[in-house]
Structure 1
Amino acid sequence: MVEGKQEMIALLTGVKSSKRNYYTELKSTVEQLRKKNMQLEIINDVMKSIKVDMSLNDVLKNVIDKLTVFMKCDRICLLVLKNEELVLSNVYPEKSHCSKVYSTVFVENSLYWSSLKNKETIHLQFEQTDDEFFEKQFLLEAKINSILVLPIFIKNKGIGILSIGRKDGACWSDEDVSFLENLADHLAVSIENTQLYTEVVRSKQHWEDTFKAVDDMIVIFDKNLHILQSNDAAKNVFNCEPEEVDERLKTLLQTTLQSLKPEYSDLYFDNQSIFEAYTYPIQNNQNQVYGVILYAKDVTGKRKLEAQLLHSGKLAAIGEMAAGIAHELNSPLTAILGNSQILLRNSQEEDPAYSLLTDIKNCGDRSKKIIKSLLTFSRQDEYLFELFSLNEAVNQVLHLLKYQLQKSEVDVNLELSDRLPKLLGSQQQIEQIIVNLILNARDALEISDHINKEIVIKTLLVGNKIVLTVQDNGIGIHENMLSDIFLPFYTTKEMEKGTGLGLSVSFGIAKAHGGTIEVKSKLNQGSTFTLKLPLQPPRVIEVSS
């Protein structure tokens, strides 16, 4: 009876109904709070992506994973405006797109372009409209029946489109649309940040690739001359590591830092290479110098070419001089040779003056041949070869140089092979090589400290080549100079004692005979020059340096 009365009172007063409504409203409020919390998490994730290196695809994945918890969402895609074209940038899930990523959307009759141009959100359910638009075919192929298109703007500038699709065709509530529009605004910041970051990385990579691709040396130093950066060319030349600076550069770099002006200098390396080095001060926006750039270019080939051009000019001048010398000397030589021949006819061999007259005639003949050789060298005339004995050429040269060698107190030891075949070539030119080699050996002995000064001359047959060696125990040649001694006008002798043409001319003659000249030398121990000539050289040759 009492329980019945209490139940009746509860029904009349609406207590049960109030409790039911209270729990219903509480459940709804909790659901709304959970939804709001999820929305805040999505916004937070988007904002996080602004600060970290996160791809847009990862951002979209995080967004859709959170959205699907409280909102029906089957497909989300991002289109970015690039060079006045709307490009499909990202789609999630990746298998949900029918058009290719990075494909462009045509402007005409486009739902996306309409949203971007009009700055409005478009909500469309395909079952309730027969409107045709460019994207419809692709969306239907992806089984999307309801779409929400949100324009993405930043600083009142359109940068893209966020498209969200559903397969069930359901519509979005005003609250969902408001949240998604807010999401699009935050996503705009993330997109701009990603684009800026990508551009910075691309520019940095482009600069580094360009920096490395330059064949010339580029090194960046700070004010303390510590290496901040260097390209591969600099590392190959200097073999430099951080905190290391080549001593040859310190003066140039310090001068630039002190003068605050570009500087220039030539750098010479042990491998005979030459670099033109330029230094430039580096300034910040306040015109304060905080470092210096070194740019160095390998000009070894250029300098050699310039030297060759200079040498060519000298050789051309020699050719002109030789013609004048020949005319000037031929007349007195004709008189000397003619008178010596007349005196020889009137003298007997046992006459003491006979050998002197013979030497006069031989020297006159040799002088005439030397003049002819000089003209031939300058004009590169053709030479016809004849058979001759290399041993005979050696003896003839020694006979002419006998007085000079005796005066210098040089002993000459001969080791001439008696089995040498005759050589086909120009005897007077081969004699010119022998003269140059012997005189160079004598000059090296004159300035040496050795008491016993000796020249050893050998001839031998090696295979199909005849070999002549001239060895001395003089001062020798520095290893760094061995590659230059055959260059025209290169000499280590004093101005009045050498022209730098002897070995150059000799090497040219040997090469014209199909042979070569090799040298081995050690400081303070002597040098050995080896002339190698083939038994069958060219029949007709050109003599050049």
Structure 2
Amino acid sequence: MNNASQTRILAVVLAVATVAACVLAAMNFDRESGLDVPTDGIWWVEAATGLRAERVPVLSPGHRAGIRTGDILLSVDDQPTPRVAPLVREMFRSGIWAHATYSILRPVPQSIDLNGATRLDIQVILEPKDRSINQGLRFIALVYLCIGIYVLFRRWTAPKSVHFYVFCLASFVLYSFRSTGEPGTFDWFIYWGNMAAQALQPALFLHFAVSFSDNFASDQRNRLGRRIGCVLLYLPGVFLIALQYTAIRFWSATEVLLHRLDQIALGYLALYYVIAAVVFRFRYRWAESALERQQLKWLTRGTLIAVTPFTLLYVIPYLADWSVNSQIAKAAGLSLVVLPLTFSWAIVRYRLMDVDLIFKRGVTYTLATASLVGVYFGIIALTGEIVHTRLSNLGVWGLLAAIIIAGIVFDPLKRAIQARVDRVFDQKRFDYRETLVEFGRGINAQTDLRALLDSIVERLPQTLLVTRVAVFLASESEGSFTPRHFDLAASHGLTNLHSAELHSLDVRFLDFDRPGANNHIFLENPQQVLRLPEAQRQSAGRLDLNYYLPCRVANREGAGTRTVAVIGLGRTDDGDFLSSEDMELLESLAGYIGIAIQNAQLYRRLEQKITEFESLKEFHENIVESINIGVFAVDLEDRIESWNTQMEGMYSKSRTEVLRQPISDVLPPDFVARFNSVRDEHGTHTLYKFRLMLPNGNVRVANIAIAPLVTRNFVAVGRIILVDDITDRIQLEAQLTQAEKLSSIGLLAAGVAHEVNTPLAVISSYTQMLSKHMRDDERLAPVLEKITQQTFRASEIVNGLLNFSRTSGAEFASLNLNELLRDTVTLLEHQFKTAQIRVETNFDPHLARIHGNQGKLQQVILNLMLNAKDAMFGTTNATLKIATFNGAGRVMVRIQDSGNGIEKEHLHRIYDPFFTTKTKPQEGEHKGTGLGLAVSYGIMQEHAGKIHVESEIGIGTAFQLEFPSSGTRPAAIAETPRSESEVAERKAMHV
């Protein structure tokens, strides 16, 4: 028997089976719709004494009547019910919404037998059985059947299409044949049809999964082994049917047996589905053909999406006898509808390049021809009638006129019909192509090359539905282009390439500028382009692009064109090749894209030049703005042309205020006079230490350089003036000179102190000798004692002066701040008395020792005390409070005066070098250098300490020094007790 006869027989068999299944399914649906099945909603199972209520769902008719789990049913309406079948028969006899009397035995709680059980008669109102799940299953059955018919008619010769249709037909029978339980041959036929489909459908599904890749296999022995294995897949289904028949024929028909058989059938179904999903997954991983991988990808995903919820939410709970919400179970069952949808997508083999195009054009010309024939015969009939009745004299000329009119009408009619067919058959793609045409027209407005390339690789996949797009740009070298200069600039879908591999691609086969080059390159299999060298073949395989189109523009010099870019495209989402119509559209669009890329490149080069110019200009401006010298330029008419930031700060005038203003309106007259005096002289002129009057009244000293401003051709266009403010430098020089004087005075004071010590020692010695000889003289002895005390006091002052003037090293030692403070107060005692300043001290006797340099710390304390004395100059009740106390691991010294205080705007600057508020000292004060607090701050940082200041105008200033404690205390006073009053007094003083 030849293949044609086999195909016809198979088609007839499938048609008869399909019609028979549809007729039986319709009759089954009609019977079920007209039959109401009464139920009490309880799952009864056979027990030794009757039917036991295994599960009583909440709100079921039995539950509302009062039946509970574990109750034993003896009879219904006085009819014994030892099995489920008599119970069903009695429920049918009673009918829906009828009262049925249930005689039950309710066992005693915790009892294992019926001893002491209570007999109850319960009235149960039977309700119609909820069979809505059957309608959902019938919906799934219709989906399977429709998709199977669509696949069969669309791709009859496609591999596995017949197998898939048989699977869909078996699924239709499985989900549409629902036994009603009504006695009769029809219901019996429906029941066994469902059983046969239940055994056959999972096996067909798994067979489909196992043998799906047979058409890709080349090893015949392997293919034969697969077929034998596929036959064995149907044995469990045969066993399942035999088990069902044996149970009905030979075993006792109990509810438990029926439930177990249903569990076995459902477990068999789910197991085959899960195995098929695993098989699809492994085949997808091992597949070598791109077509096979594309199909298996959809099969794997669809199977997992359908099988996972069905198995987890329906099958497993059913096998484990778990109670599951009915809505969840229905939703899990409806997930199986995903299977045929994904399978139909995979079975309909990917279309060839021009199949759809030929089909559409064929329909177009057929309809156009039919229309032409209709118009022709209509015109002939109309013309014959006219000629016969009114224009009998025209004769054959009327017929010729009708033929000419038909020919004229043919072309616009054909175009109208073709456009209508395009809209009907490919609406989405047609709209996309219109969008692409509009994109090609407006693409030249895009000047950003990166945005242009991104829009190309984004729009082409949307329009042509291709998965991979790449744009290669040609880099120019000495006015010529070679294939090796094409670099991948933008892509879509090339996820298999890493950034490092992009630079190693050899794409020299993209040479469209050689003589005789085609308008595009088509590679049917990019992985096996045998005509290319090895390196280029590997690059083509990695890119996996099937089409390459050049984007050409006119040469800059001479005739001809050159390629500025190449567009590469892969297959469509369906695995199809592009049609010839697509290629014509792309070739036209490539010209627009080439011009747009050339314009974007030119615009980018222009932007680069502008950016370089702006950067150079900004660099020069930054130099002028960042230099710490005032710079401005004037033109030949002495109008200011530039004015840098330093001049803005010096003159407090922005550049917008002074630009284009005459120099005489901005700068003082004395400078303008000196500027005019050197106008006619050549070269650079410098005004040393020129006193420049500012608009705010201040006077600054500056070195001013005036130089000519010339062009590259040495043509003078104005003058540039550099103003170097040296006021602070002069002040610094003066302060350094003063510091040298103070140093010399310190050395002189040290020498004087040494000289004073000698006579003081002589005076002290003779006074002590006289005191011993005149010890009994009541008049002279007290006088000599006072002289001795004063000499000791004078000696202490001199020794303190010597210690302060002595050059101290950098050695750190353990210090007692109380002793250091006492020595410093003694040194300044005379000055405080002269200034009428009362000194109050409150030293903590338990003060911890610190680690530091005595000379440097004495300098800090001396600076603070002298500043406090100057701040209290001329004030009444001047008081200087000095206190020490311990903190948390810290030693504190607080020096507080009752002077005028420091203004808030000056507080953040008091530690800056050379900052002082004593620029105009009053009588009795001295001019400050601005170095005391700066040096003190540095010494505190050197000792890892901190210095804090608190000041309020009219109240005074308090400086607090913090030092890290060395952890030891003076031994002489370590055990001295501290009273509460002493602590309170010290805290009050510190506040």
Q: TM-score range by the shorter chain?
A: 0.5 to 0.7
Query: AA paired with 1:529?
Result: F
Equivalent runs, 1:71-470 vs 2, <5 Å = 78-82=471-475, 85-89=485-489, 106=506, 108=508, 110=509, 112-113=510-511, 115-118=512-515, 121-122=518-519, 132-133=531-532, 138=540, 151-153=552-554, 155=556, 158-161=563-566, 183-195=589-601, 251-254=653-656, 257-258=659-660, 321=744, 325=748, 328-329=751-752, 332-348=755-771, 350=781, 352=783, 355=786, 358-377=789-808, 380-382=809-811, 390=819, 394=822, 401-415=828-842, 419-420=845-846, 436-448=863-875, 451-460=876-885, 467-470=892-895
Q: Please, what TM-score do these two structures have when normalized by structure 2?
A: 0.34
- Residue of structure 2 equivalent to 1:267: none
Whether contact under 8 Å (1:343, 1:357) holds in the other structure is no
Deviation at 1:60, TM superposition (A): 7.3
- Residue of structure 1 equivalent to 2:898: 473
- Residue of structure 2 equivalent to 1:285: none
Deviation at 1:251, TM superposition (A): 0.6
- Residue of structure 1 equivalent to 2:440: 46
Whether contact under 8 Å (2:896, 2:959) holds in the other structure is yes
Give the 3-state SS of the residue equivalent to 2:836 in structure 1.
coil
2:957 to 494, 508, 527: 527
Query: AA paired with 1:251?
Result: K
Deviation at 1:526, TM superposition (A): 0.8
Q: Aligned partners of 1:406, 1:123: CA distance in 2, in Å?
A: 107
Give the 3-state SS of the residue equivalent to 1:48 in structure 2.
helix
Give the 3-state SS of the residue equivalent to 1:382 in structure 2.
coil
Deviation at 1:48, TM superposition (A): 1.4
Give the 3-state SS of the residue equivalent to 1:251 in structure 2.
coil
Deviation at 1:345, TM superposition (A): 3.2
> Which stretches in structure 2 are left out of the alignment for 5+ residues?
1-383, 389-394, 423-430, 478-484, 627-647, 667-727, 772-779, 970-991
Q: Aligned partners of 2:961, 2:543: CA distance in 1, in Å?
A: 87
Give the 3-state SS of the residue equivalent to 2:659 in structure 1.
helix
Deviation at 1:523, TM superposition (A): 1.2
Deviation at 1:475, TM superposition (A): 0.5
Query: AA paired with 2:767?
Result: L
Query: AA paired with 2:880?
Result: I
Whether contact under 8 Å (2:899, 2:955) holds in the other structure is yes
Whether contact under 8 Å (2:460, 2:469) holds in the other structure is no
Give the 3-state SS of the residue equivalent to 2:902 in structure 1.
coil
Give the 3-state SS of the residue equivalent to 2:895 in structure 1.
strand
Whether contact under 8 Å (1:489, 1:499) holds in the other structure is yes
Higher relative contact order (CA 8 A, sep 6+): 1
Equivalent runs, 1:4-19 vs 2, <5 Å = none
Distance 1:388 1:358, change over 3 A: farther
Distance 1:194 1:332, change over 3 A: same
Deviation at 1:50, TM superposition (A): 1.8
Q: Aligned partners of 1:41, 1:488: CA distance in 2, in Å?
A: 73
- Residue of structure 2 equivalent to 1:295: none
Distance 1:534 1:362, change over 3 A: farther
Q: Aligned partners of 1:459, 1:61: CA distance in 2, in Å?
A: 77
Distance 1:505 1:142, change over 3 A: closer
Deviation at 1:200, TM superposition (A): 8.0
Whether contact under 8 Å (2:892, 2:963) holds in the other structure is yes
Q: Note the alpha carbon deviations across 1:215-235, whole angstroms, 9 max, x for none.
A: 99x99xxxxxxxxxxxxxxxx
Give the 3-state SS of the residue equivalent to 1:258 in structure 2.
coil
Q: Note the alpha carbon deviations across 1:207-266, whole angstroms, 9 max, x for none.
A: 99xx9xxx99x99xxxxxxxxxxxxxxxxxxxxxxxxxx9999613235523699x9xxx
Q: Note the alpha carbon deviations across 1:272-310, whole angstroms, 9 max, x for none.
A: xxxxxxxxxxxxxxxxxxxxxxxxxxxxxxxx9x99x99
Give the 3-state SS of the residue equivalent to 1:475 in structure 2.
coil
Deviation at 1:376, TM superposition (A): 2.7
Q: Aligned partners of 1:399, 1:163: CA distance in 2, in Å?
A: 95
Give the 3-state SS of the residue equivalent to 1:446 in structure 2.
coil
Whether contact under 8 Å (2:753, 2:801) holds in the other structure is no
Aligned residues: 438
Deviation at 1:151, TM superposition (A): 3.7
Deviation at 1:522, TM superposition (A): 0.9
Deviation at 1:447, TM superposition (A): 3.8
Query: AA paired with 1:409?
Result: Q
Distance 1:13 1:78, change over 3 A: same
Give the 3-state SS of the residue equivalent to 1:160 in structure 2.
strand
Distance 1:341 1:433, change over 3 A: farther
Deviation at 1:27, TM superposition (A): 5.2
Query: AA paired with 1:442?
Result: K
Distance 1:204 1:350, change over 3 A: farther
Equivalent runs, 1:531-542 vs 2, <5 Å = 531=961, 536=966
Whether contact under 8 Å (1:373, 1:429) holds in the other structure is no
Q: Aligned partners of 1:311, 1:337: CA distance in 2, in Å?
A: 38
Decide which structure has greater strand share.
1
Q: Aligned partners of 2:463, 2:856: CA distance in 1, in Å?
A: 96
Q: Aligned partners of 1:161, 1:364: CA distance in 2, in Å?
A: 101
Query: AA paired with 1:116?
Result: D
Q: Note the alpha carbon deviations across 1:167-204, whole angstroms, 9 max, x for none.
A: 779989xxx97x87665433322223444567789999
Structural RMSD (CA): 6.4
Q: Note the alpha carbon deviations across 1:305-339, whole angstroms, 9 max, x for none.
A: x99x9999889969984895477436523434443
> Which stretches in structure 1 are left out of the alignment for 5+ residues?
220-245, 264-303, 540-545
Q: Note the alpha carbon deviations across 1:127-176, whole angstroms, 9 max, x for none.
A: 9xx982467784999695x977564446465412356899779989xxx9
Whether contact under 8 Å (1:121, 1:149) holds in the other structure is no
